[in-house]
Amino acid sequence: MTEAPAGRAAGARSSLQVGGLTALTTVDYPGQLAAVVFCQGCPWRCGYCHNGHLQPPRAGAPVSWTEVMAFLRRRRGLLDAVVFSGGEPTLQRGLRAAMREAKSLGYAIGLHTAGIYPGRLAGLLQEVSWVGLDIKAPWQRYDAVTGRPGSAARVQRSLDLVQASGVDYECRTTWHAGLYPEEELQALGQELAERGVARWTVQPCRLAARATV
Ligand code: SF4
């Protein structure tokens, strides 16, 4: 995988490929009423992925970015935030312009990312006010979980960047016992705490069970 600068100049209309839209959520951006824009495309192949339809970089888009913006204009004053999720949002070069367009309407911007493209993430952090960073597994398990070599180093760099940015964030791990033992999950939580991660959410099979370090 190669990386390229994310986004376009401010004011440019985004070409974001949208795979879906959730009109209202209270759980995807802590403390905020938010809409979630699901971005098309992800280069990883996690075995437990529940968004397989979002993995191809292009697919029959159920909603266009223009339609999303029209929706966001109608919801001004009713929603607080827009969360860009996926898929892997940072895959798309139109993400930054899309964030800026949504921000111009007064929304706070959230980002769900697996930290796949740290170089692109670095250029996006100034646009966002909250990041949900997926920590897929203990570092030694990463490639097996994501199906891609070298994935752990990318995420470690992304975590470093998010922490250095000062942007509010949480780390999130989806786990079940078939992936790796619970003892390794606990060790991961300990390591994240030692790295200064204040909020770590564990989602067993996408259920809402939570743990905080
Ligand atoms: S990073 Fe997320 S969207 Fe991509 S394959 Fe893994 S679970 Fe699915």
Q: Edge-to-edge strand order for the sheet containing 130-134?
A: 18-25, 34-39, 81-85, 108-113, 130-134, 168-175, 200-204
| Distance, CA of 22 to CA of 143 (rounded, Å) | 30
For residue 165, report the distance from its CA to the centre of ligand 1, in Å.
24
**Spans of all domains in the chain:** 18-174
Task: Report the residue among 1, 49, 148 best suited for mutation to probe ligand 1: largest number of ligand atoms under 8 A from its CB.
Answer: 49
Q: Averaged over 138-166, what is the pLDDT?
A: 97
pLDDT in tens, 67-112: 999 999 999 999 999 999 999 999 999 999 999 999 999 999 999 9
Helices (H), 25-150: 65-74, 95-104, 118-124, 142-146
CATH architecture entry for 18-174: Alpha-Beta Barrel (3.20)
For residue 78, report the distance from its CA to the centre of ligand 1, in Å.
30
pLDDT in tens, 59-72: 877 899 999 999 99
Share of the chain above pLDDT 70, in %: 90
Q: Does residue 153 surpass a pLDDT of 50?
A: yes
Q: What is the pLDDT of residue 206?
A: 54
Residues 80 and 107 sit within 8 Å (Cβ to Cβ): yes
Q: What is the pLDDT of residue 205?
A: 64
Q: Does residue 208 surpass a pLDDT of 70?
A: no
What predicted TM-score, i.e. pTM, was given to this entire model? 0.90
Residues lining ligand 1, Cβ inside 6 A? 42, 44-46, 49, 51, 54-55, 86-88, 114
* pLDDT, averaged across the chain: 90
Beta-carbon count within 10 A of 119 CB: 16
Task: Of 8, 2, 44, give the one whose Cα is nearest residue 123.
Answer: 8
pLDDT in tens, 7-28: 444 445 779 999 999 999 999 9
For residue 77, report the distance from its CA to the centre of ligand 1, in Å.
32
Q: What is the pLDDT of residue 204?
A: 80
